[in-house]
A and B are shown apart, each in its own frame.
Chain A
Amino acid sequence: MTTQPENQKVSSYIIQSQEQEIKRIALELHEGVGQSLYSLFTGLQFIEKAVKEPEMKSYMGNMTNIMEKTIQEIRLLSVELHPPTLTTLGIVPAVKSYLKLYTSTYGIEVTVDHCGDEVPLTERENIALFRVCQEALVNIARYADTSSASVIFIWDKDLLSITIKDSGKGFDVEAGMEKSCGLAAMKERMKLIGGKCSIASNTGEGTAIEVLLPL
């Protein structure tokens, strides 16, 4: 690895320690809290079945229902924070599982295309790629005013490219970069893992974010 300027090392360190913390919380929600609530849920179901008195039975039914919703929301939250599949199965399954949640949350349909053979990446690379995809998708939900988008993975021999595209509103990239730091953070994240992120957008024509990572 080539020597990085000091401040790049520091941002890299800050990002990595925050990501580890997010991962820990996500895992705790999924495996810890989620599992305990699930045990309580099956217990409540059991009691509900045993109870004879109609009013109490309906009350138990309502409690079981609230528990089920809470468990579901905890699962979704943990996928948003850090999909459990990201570390075990890699970027493509993680993005796909995030997209399921994304469509049911925002109502935006996203097609995923995939060509070439997926290569295992380091955890750091997986996380950076996932965050960039997530930021691009979240921006679409927030600003693009569109019902559909697409994500394309292309695995070449020595280069991975991911393109996230929408044909929504579009925006002036220079003005957008001045407004806030999300787009700049995407670029910075890719730079820190030795990749690149380019943003192309035109008002009225939509947006394409292209991410490149040498393999």
Chain B
Amino acid sequence: MGFKKEWETSLFEEHCLNLFPKLSSDFIGLALQNDDGPDVSWRYAAGNQNEKYKRISVRYGKGIAGKVISTGRPMTIMDFPHHITGRALEYPIMLAENLRYAFAVPIHINEMPKGVFLIGNRTEKPVAEMDKDIIQKAAHMLEREFGSSNKKSV
């Protein structure tokens, strides 16, 4: 119930890497559930400061990505590490990429949140409404394409 690797890569490049230059955000990342097992990990990023995201497994219910996966709803973070629920340590992607503002949306496959699209800023600058709109749309696009390919492969 995961994602086909090659096909997924080309999809991401199409929808996301090309997307990054159109955003005013500093960082964009996509986390997806692995093919084998329940782990959700960061697969792709642009604007990253280091490679830490590649080793991070999103913990269920923890941090911005973990909460988006467990609730299936978008989430915004303003002025991290202030005004967050729980400890700053529960927000690994914010720490790893030195983000202060972030916005994340779920990607639903078969009615289950199986991935997260996240954008963020490192400076005192909330995520632009236009950027939020763009990744919402990109997430829906991915949902449609993953959905239709899943049906094909059944």
List A residues at the B interface (Cβ < 8 Å). Answer: 58, 61-62, 65, 68-70, 72-73, 76, 103-109, 138, 141-142, 145, 147
What 0/1 readout, one digit per residue, does chain B (88-118) give for beta carbons within 8 Å of chain A?
Answer: 1100100110100000000000111000000
Given contacts A61-B1, A145-B98, A147-B50, contact A106 B92 (CB under 8 A): yes
A76 touches B56 (CB 8 A): no
Given A73-B61, A142-B88, A147-B51, does the pair A106, B112 have CB atoms closer than 8 Å?
no
Beyond the given A58-B110, A72-B60, A109-B55, please list 6 additional residue pairs across the A-B interface where CB-CB is below 8 A. A62-B111, A65-B1, A72-B38, A104-B55, A107-B54, A107-B92
Note all chain A residues with C-beta closer than 8 A to B111.
62
Q: Is B62 touching A107 in the complex (CB atoms < 8 A)?
A: no
Interface of B is mostly: loop
Asked whether A107 lies within 8 Å of B112 as measured between CB atoms, the reply is: no
In the complex, whether B140 has a CB less than 8 A from a CB of chain A is no
CB-CB under 8 A from A61, the residues of chain B are 1, 110
Chain B residue contacts of A145, Cβ below 8 A: 98
Whole-angstrom distance between the Cβ of B89 and the nearest chain A Cβ: 6
A108 vs B89: C-alpha distance in the bound complex, in angstroms? Answer: 13
**How many contacts between A and B, using CB within 8 angstroms?**
57
A72: chain B residues at CB < 8 Å are: 38-39, 60
On whether the beta carbons of A138 and B37 are closer than 8 Å, the reply is: no
Query: B59 an interface residue at 8 Å Cβ cutoff?
Result: yes
Given the complex, which residues of A lie within 8 Å of B125, measured CB to CB?
none
B112 and A65 within 8 A (CB): yes
Q: Which residues from B are CB-within-8-Å of A58?
A: 110
Q: Assess whether B88 is in contact with A107, with CB atoms less than 8 Å apart.
A: no
B95 to chain A minimum Cβ distance, whole angstroms, is 6
User: Which residue of A is nearest B50, CB measured?
Assistant: A147
**Identity of the chain B residue whose Cβ is nearest the Cβ of A67 in the assembled complex:** B38
| Cβ contacts under 8 Å, A65 to chain B | 1, 38, 112
B52 at the interface (CB under 8 A from A): yes
B57 an interface residue at 8 Å Cβ cutoff? Answer: yes
B53 in contact (CB, < 8 A)? yes
Which residues, 21 to 74 on B, are CB-close (under 8 Å) to A? 37-39, 50-57, 59-62
CB distance from A106 to the nearest CB of B (A): 5
User: Using Cβ atoms and an 8 Å threshold, which residues of chain A touch B55?
Assistant: 103-104, 107-109
Give the complex CA separation of A104 and B59 in angstroms. Answer: 9
Pick from A69, A106, A108, A147: contact of B38, CB below 8 A: A69
Provided the pairs A62-B110, A65-B112 are in contact, do residues A107 and B37 lie with their beta carbons within 8 angstroms? Answer: no
Task: Report yes or no: A147 in contact with B59, Cβ–Cβ below 8 A.
Answer: no
Are B89 and A141 closer than 8 Å at their CB atoms? yes
Residues of A within 8 A of B88 (CB): 142
- Could you say which residues of chain B place their CB within 8 Å of the CB of A69? 38, 60
Structural contact, B52 and A138, CB atoms closer than 8 A = no
A142 contacts B89, C-beta separation under 8 Å: yes
